[in-house]
Structure 1
Amino acid sequence: MGGRGRGWYYKHKYGGGGRGGRGCGQDSGHGAADDGATHTHPSAADHGSDDECYTNATPSGEGRLVGSSNDLHASLQRINGKGYKAYHDIQGRWQCPGYVFCLDHVQGDPFADPSRCRVQVLAGTANFPSQLWQAKIRRTALCDYLTRCFAGVVSAAGADIRQQAGGWHREKGGEMTVDVPGQHVLERTSILISDQGDVEARFTVALPARGRTVLGDWAATILTTNLPRYVKQGLHWASQDARAVQAHIECVENTQALRDALPSRGLISFVGDSSVLPRVSGASDKPMAKGQAIPFQSPANLSVELTLPNRGKVRGLGIRSGVMLIVGGGFHGKTTLLKAIEAGVYNKIPGDGRELVVTDPNAVKVRAEDGRRVEAVDITPFINNLPYGRSTSAFSSDDASGSTSQAANIQEALEVGATTLLVDEDTCATNFMIRDARMQALVAKEKEPITPFLSKIKALADLKVSCILVIGGSGDYFSVADTILCMEDFAAKDVTSEAHAIAQQFGDVPAVCNASAYGQVTARTPTAIHPASVDGRGRGIKVSTRTMDLISYGTVELNLSGVEQLAEKSQTRAIAFALQLIASQLATKRLRTVSQLLKHIDKEIDKQGLDVLAPRLKACDMARPRRFEIAAALNRLRTVRMKQW
């Protein structure tokens, strides 16, 4: 349509008067379903090659401008009282004072997920100083700050509250929503800043209706009266608290610099003194009030000092590469410390309490997951010699046990580059973690297929893979640990020497725990994802993100509750699109290993941003996941087929 947008099509077809609810024509959606939470990916047939799947296609709504802000207002008044489909007349780009408004996707029904919108503010109007966004880490931090600011302006006006008088024929809709971040600072699609300093904000609007009748006057108030105010207050430098912006950016920059400094000091994690590690509750990631929480303090002999660009010298616990145990009585803070460490792969907002807690970005939390699917994983380092000679070199199961699932989790993490494993015995299979001397005496080694994790942990260290473990029930791990930290009343104490002396007093670690070599980590390649990634009409399989832990992929439900380092639902949305993208790649018959696929996706996101995961969608609610969480989703999808490389 020559870049004129679908609004032009309906004006041309119906003489500029809207469709009046006649239901003529179909919403092509360019691969997106009417339900904004359910999306499809462009088919592989749309592209000339495998790599072109990452190219940003021109979405509906892009192209030449439809008209001015006054034209938008007039169009909304013209379709007032018509059938809901008449809202398609305003789809496109509109030049408003100080910004361009883009309506990319119009919902098909008042009860469908809301319409996707954007505003684009040129650099000269937004006027953010270049030093705030030229460096990548600063740009990510500024986008995060502006997302929170823009969402705050909308919320303060009450514009994010759905109006629902009750009943089908009553007035409904009108809410404007911005994807509100949590405690982590992640690369997002909610706010984007270009290399020239232009600012783009993405959000949704539930276009209002009475029954299935357009309420054009109300929509005009939202889009032409209220939205300009939100843009000015939320997206202009002149409206910002300069000190708060600077503090937010410097906090994120400090945390990233701290993490970047770990390798040169031989560290895999750092926990800053005075950090507030406990959270309000298991349902909230916000920090416990300082008067209630005991600030973390490192044992003097384990403290290290690092220098940050905007804060100077900081001290805290330096966790060195190798094997570290966190021990102590129940409810004394072991798991709290480990959870802070596992969240240390992400940067935090000021005031979170964990701004000075950082971890190796390739650290992966592993656990047992009874019932998870496993496909073609070599688990022989841990499980071998099954009865009747069954092989575990390409182990597959639709219902893995605790021990086999934990073995698979470790092997899959190593396959995609994990260099630190995080383990909490509370979520582990006991028979996978230990096999004490008494059990060895009763059950002969050749009759036990499981080689416990204890026996492989030193071999992992030889492969430059470190481990941090919470252990409360087995002193056998004392003999293989380099450092042992005891938590007593939430206070950390170095007990390494004492624990090693106890290990010597009770005898060496059992012989079964003295394995010399780790074994193989075999690369795999996905060969197919069923149902097929493209249906008969050339559309991709629909996906929706129901919760942070649950993705619907076609008719298949994918449970990610065992993937503990997922931080936000917005990451899960991005993972759903990544699965679609991988499926479209597989349709080209160009095979890559899981690791190669994910490195390629990472590279393309680095170059082009998260939109490469859903090129035509202009999604407003994605946050960047790590490749480890994408791999975890791929591995748990029950319809994926893999073969060893």
Structure 2
Amino acid sequence: MKSAEDLRQFLRSVDRKGYPAYKGAKGVYQFPDFTLSIDHVQGDPFASPSRVSIRVEGKKACFPAESYHLSHKRVALQDLLLRKFAAKVERYNFKARGSGKSGLIAVSRCGQEILERTACVADPEDGDILIRMEVGFPANGRTINSGELIKILFEFLPECVAGTCFYKTYPAAEREKVKKVSELAEDQEEARRLLSAMGLTAFVANGSILPRESGVSDRPMAKAVPFTSPSSMEVVMKLPHAGAIKGMGIPRGVTLIVGGGYHGKSTLLSALESGVYNHIAGDGREYVVTEASAVKLRAEDGRSVKNVDISLFIKNLPDRRDTKRFCTEDASGSTSQAAGVVEAMESGAKTFLVDEDTSATNFMIRDELMQMVVHRDQEPITPFVERVRALYDEQGISTILVAGSSGAYFHVADRVIQMDCYVPKEVTKEAKEAAAGFGEGVQSLKLTTVSFERVPKRFKSGGRDERFKMKVLGRDSLQFDRDVVELRFVEQIADTEQIAALGYLLKYAGTHFIDGRRNLIQIVDLLEKKVAAEGLAALAEDGYLPVNLCMPRRQEIFACINRCRSLMF
């Protein structure tokens, strides 16, 4: 390891030389209070920024061991440090002058969720703090301006590190914040554990703020109506630090959310979708907790489907296609949603979240009048309403469904919640009485056997080429080699960094686990085991690790693989 002074001398020696001379800066350097690693140097000032990381030893960082020795507390501490570091870095961003990306200092931008990221890592053993970032090495044109880089590395970054990574320098208020973050993480972990113990699939605390600021902001809406549980569904969660918290407990089974337009049905469901993640203090959804494997289901016209057994919902197609091993490159609304249900079951989901607004109508229901005109033997679709009861009774899979235009689900629901001006009311008794006036209603069918033995064989381009090109295309998709994996309808992806991680997981699966013998469940199991043991950084075998990867859930890993058109089954 070289010294900080060695780096300073090198940078002075390459001043005003051609930009490639910066390459010699790559290496590890010891500064007085931290280690600086220049992991990758950009090719020119207009290329992707250089990658830099900083490590502070645990004995110098001195954060309380109880704030990082457990996984959920460690992730919360990492999130706090990353937000704090990002706020300090922002003051220096582009303060160093030059061409192109010169002077850029960038770290991950965290949203409302608390997620595990490669941008900040607290070692659970010794408390070492690692922060990864991007830095635009300054130049005038393509001529090195090392004086400006010296300013970044020897003035700007040390000040940001000093204000973030040393617990002993924190004033009392900042230390209290570290404590509160750790306590909130412990409370949220306990709330998630209590769901199972209390027989619930979700919990929404009284006082939660569910509406968001706008369509482009996930912050809480000002002056929104605080959530208040119906008395008949109110439960108490006893948490280690927050104490006894009251709120609406949604039991396992089939729950229907109804109400007029703009009364908060989809807002509640959206909060439940996001409830699979922990949220920061002040978000309004800190104690909105959903069973961890819950999956939002919807229609996805045009998606590809590979060898999925959708016979549970669709069979006897006019063209005689095999629905036990259904394949298409252009799924309809109903076939895509049927495939989504089976794929979610394959991923291990125990809760389905459904909104009729984003569902295929013919997949969800068929009313009596339609059945009188188009007889059952002429209709290849068995609607979801006829299977939803058995999904819970036989497989233990709960469903929370938003409906505003059809009462068909009143017959099969265990409970019905009506949203009225964002205030929930339980109307199960009234709904059941009204449904009884319409006769027997829905025919609930038992489940048939569904096959999950899908075995991916290879990618079209060969499958074991480690030179796959990957690129994140916003929040909507991932470019993987020559394929674009559409993810815009995988609604529980919370961050673009999760999409980047999915690209690396997909690549690693292709080069290590997809061999024509392992089924999809075994492949995802191996990916999760790899990441759990070694972290996301273990996926970057070529040494190229972006600073901004974020761990997705198991369900999103399945969703990404299922939507990869170039993967052969």
TM-score normalised by the shorter chain: which range applies? Answer: over 0.9
Aligned counterpart for 1:228 among listed residues 158, 161, 174: 158
Q: Secondary structure at the match of 2:183?
A: helix
Q: Secondary structure at the match of 1:345?
A: coil
- Residue 356 of structure 2 is matched in structure 1 by 425
- Residue 421 of structure 2 is matched in structure 1 by 489
The aligned runs of 1:195-594 (5 Å cut-off) are: 195-240=125-170, 241-289=174-222, 292-462=223-393, 463-510=395-442, 513-535=443-465, 539-586=466-513, 589=515, 591-594=517-520
Q: Is the 8 A contact 1:478 1:499 kept in 2?
A: yes
Q: Is the 8 A contact 1:342 1:365 kept in 2?
A: yes
Deviations 1:187-241 (A, max 9, x none): 1111111111111111110111111111111111111222111111111113331
1:119 corresponds to 2:45: no
Quick one: distance in 1 between partners of 2:165 and 2:551?
22
In the alignment, structure 2 segments of 5+ residues that lack a partner are none
Higher mean C-alpha displacement, 304-313 vs 331-340: 304-313
Q: Which amino acid aligns with 1:283?
A: V
Q: Which amino acid aligns with 1:205?
A: V
Q: Which amino acid aligns with 1:136?
A: S
Q: Is the 8 A contact 1:460 1:518 kept in 2?
A: no
Quick one: distance in 1 between partners of 2:564 and 2:152?
41
Higher mean C-alpha displacement, 619-628 vs 331-340: 619-628
Q: Secondary structure at the match of 1:389?
A: coil
Quick one: distance in 1 between partners of 2:214 and 2:462?
42
Q: Is the 8 A contact 1:414 1:521 kept in 2?
A: no
Q: Is the 8 A contact 1:164 1:172 kept in 2?
A: no
Q: Is the 8 A contact 1:163 1:172 kept in 2?
A: no
Quick one: distance in 2 between partners of 1:569 and 1:295?
29
The list of structure 1 runs, each at least 4 consecutive aligned residues, that deviate by more than 6 angstroms after superposition, is 162-165
Quick one: distance in 2 between partners of 1:269 and 1:164?
51
Q: Is the 8 A contact 1:187 1:624 kept in 2?
A: yes
- Residue 132 of structure 1 is matched in structure 2 by 67
Q: Which amino acid aligns with 1:343?
A: S
1:602 corresponds to 2:535: no
Q: Secondary structure at the match of 2:163?
A: helix
Give the C-alpha shift of residue 517 in structure 1. Answer: 2.5
TM-score when scaled to structure 1?
A: 0.85
- Residue 539 of structure 2 is matched in structure 1 by 613
Quick one: distance in 1 between partners of 2:287 and 2:30?
44
Quick one: distance in 1 between partners of 2:101 and 2:180?
40
The aligned runs of 1:55-66 (5 Å cut-off) are: 65=1
Give the C-alpha shift of residue 440 in structure 1. Answer: 0.6
Q: Secondary structure at the match of 1:304?
A: strand
Quick one: distance in 2 between partners of 1:196 and 1:573?
28
- Residue 184 of structure 1 is matched in structure 2 by 113
Deviations 1:14-56 (A, max 9, x none): xxxxxxxxxxxxxxxxxxxxxxxxxxxxxxxxxxxxxxxxxxx
Q: Is the 8 A contact 1:101 1:120 kept in 2?
A: yes
Quick one: distance in 2 between partners of 1:189 and 1:443?
55
Q: Which amino acid aligns with 1:434?
A: I
Deviations 1:339-358 (A, max 9, x none): 00010000010000000100
Give the C-alpha shift of residue 71 in structure 1. Answer: 1.2
Q: Secondary structure at the match of 1:407?
A: helix
Task: Decide whether aligned partners of structure 1 residues 214 and 570 sit closer, same or farther in structure 2, where only a CA change above 3 A counts.
Answer: same
Give the C-alpha shift of residue 171 in structure 1. Answer: 7.0
Task: Decide whether aligned partners of structure 1 residues 348 and 582 sit closer, same or farther in structure 2, where only a CA change above 3 A counts.
Answer: same
- Residue 37 of structure 1 is matched in structure 2 by none
Deviations 1:66-92 (A, max 9, x none): x21111111111101111111111101
Quick one: distance in 1 between partners of 2:169 and 2:486?
42
Q: How many residues are treated as equivalent by the alignment?
A: 563
Quick one: distance in 1 between partners of 2:319 and 2:61?
70
Question: What is the alpha-carbon root mean square deviation over aligned residues?
Answer: 1.4
Quick one: distance in 2 between partners of 1:514 and 1:203?
55
Quick one: distance in 2 between partners of 1:327 and 1:371?
29
Quick one: distance in 2 between partners of 1:122 and 1:373?
48
1:73 corresponds to 2:3: no
Quick one: distance in 1 between partners of 2:97 and 2:519?
50
Task: Decide whether aligned partners of structure 1 residues 117 and 527 sit closer, same or farther in structure 2, where only a CA change above 3 A counts.
Answer: same
Aligned counterpart for 2:42 among listed residues 96, 104, 107: 107
Quick one: distance in 2 between partners of 1:582 and 1:534?
9
Give the C-alpha shift of residue 162 in structure 1. Answer: 7.5
Q: Secondary structure at the match of 1:450?
A: coil
Q: Which amino acid aligns with 1:484?
A: V
Task: Decide whether aligned partners of structure 1 residues 459 and 529 sit closer, same or farther in structure 2, where only a CA change above 3 A counts.
Answer: same
Deviations 1:414-438 (A, max 9, x none): 0110111000000000000000101
Task: Decide whether aligned partners of structure 1 residues 171 and 489 sit closer, same or farther in structure 2, where only a CA change above 3 A counts.
Answer: closer
Q: Is the 8 A contact 2:513 2:523 kept in 1?
A: no
Q: Which amino acid aligns with 1:433?
A: M
Deviations 1:449-476 (A, max 9, x none): 0000000001101210000000111101
Q: Which amino acid aligns with 1:362?
A: S
Q: Is the 8 A contact 1:133 1:139 kept in 2?
A: yes
1:632 corresponds to 2:559: yes
Q: Secondary structure at the match of 1:247?
A: helix
Q: Secondary structure at the match of 2:353?
A: strand
- Residue 623 of structure 1 is matched in structure 2 by 550
Quick one: distance in 2 between partners of 1:239 and 1:453?
58
Quick one: distance in 2 between partners of 1:313 and 1:151?
35
Quick one: distance in 1 between partners of 2:276 and 2:93?
31
Q: Is the 8 A contact 1:115 1:204 kept in 2?
A: yes
Q: Secondary structure at the match of 1:422?
A: strand
Quick one: distance in 2 between partners of 1:434 and 1:509?
11
Quick one: distance in 2 between partners of 1:188 and 1:281?
26
- Residue 27 of structure 1 is matched in structure 2 by none
Give the C-alpha shift of residue 164 in structure 1. Answer: 7.2
Give the C-alpha shift of residue 390 in structure 1. Answer: 2.7
Give the C-alpha shift of residue 552 in structure 1. Answer: 0.9
Aligned counterpart for 2:23 among listed residues 88, 92, 95: 88
Quick one: distance in 1 between partners of 2:29 and 2:250?
54
Deviations 1:605-630 (A, max 9, x none): 22222212224234321111001111
